[in-house]
Structure formats: C-alpha cells, structure tokens
Amino acid sequence: MKDKARANLTAARVLLEAGLVDPSMSRLYYALFQAGVHAMTIQGRKPGDFVREAKDWTHASICGNANLFLNRPGDSWLFRRARGLRVQADYTDSSVSRREVEHLFPAVEAFLNEVCT
C-alpha cells in the first residue's frame, strides 16, 4: 500500500502543476488514506478491530483513528480536512482552492515520509 500512497502523491503533484486542482486533491487524499492503511497494517491492526467482521478498510475507520498512527492529535485534523476536501472535489459543484491543496501538501508528504519508510 505504501507504493500506491507514493504514486498517488506524485500524481497529486503532477495534477496540481497542470492546474487540475480537484483531481489533485482527490489523489492527495488517497495518498494519505493509503499511508494510513499501511500504518495500520504494520501495527498489526485489521479492519475487524474497528468494525465487527469488516474485511476492508473504510474511510471512517482510517480517518477516525488517525491519532493511532503516530500518536499525534494533529493527524486527526489532517485526515478529516483532507477527506472533507476530497469529498468537495469529487462530489460537489464547488471546486477546492489551489491554496487549500498547496497548504495540505507538505503535511501529507511529511506523514507519508514518516509511515512509509
């Protein structure tokens, strides 16, 4: 999953440079989500630990438990914010601002570098 996280981070950067802000935000969120799945996996956690009989990770399980990855309260905010912007980018008529994506990029990249080593 860490390779997919890195690939999505690269895709987010390329899309942002091309001026495709909403698709960039979508890929940036998925990079973060996949890094979260990787963190849970290396900690020995499974989807069923959070949702009875679950076999696959959900966005709610990953985003709602972001504080478990590196034991930092700020990560919960990062995951909630990125998920909210991804929903806006993918499912609403209003676009995400380039500034918001650029603001999140360093935090997402730092998180990936920490958990996907």
Ranges of each domain in the chain: 2-115
Q: What is the mean pLDDT of residues 8-30?
A: 98
- Whole-model pTM over 0.75: yes
Contact between 89 and 95 (Cβ < 8 Å): yes
pLDDT exceeds 90 at position 111: yes
CATH topology of domain 2-115: Four Helix Bundle (Hemerythrin (Met), subunit A) (1.20.120)
Instruction: Identify the pLDDT of residue 72.
Output: 82
DSSP the chain: -HHHHHHHHHHHHHHHHTT-HHHHHHHHHHHHHHHHHHHHHHTT--GGGTSTT--S--HHHHHHTTHHHHS-HHHHHHHHHHHHHHHHHHHSSSPPPHHHHHHHHHHHHHHHHHH--
Q: What does the block give as tokens for 52?
A: 């009875």
Q: What is the pLDDT of residues 25-75, one digit of tens each?
A: 999 999 999 999 999 999 999 999 988 899 999 999 999 999 988 888 789
Q: What is the pLDDT of residue 71?
A: 84
- pLDDT score at 115: 93
**From residue 84, how far is each of 25, 49, 77, 79, 81 by CA, in Å?**
10, 24, 10, 8, 5
Report residue 14's pLDDT band, with 50, 70 and 90 as the boundaries.
Answer: very high
Residue of higher predicted confidence among 1 and 29:
29
Q: Each residue of 74-106: pLDDT tens digit? A: 899 999 999 999 999 999 999 999 999 999 999
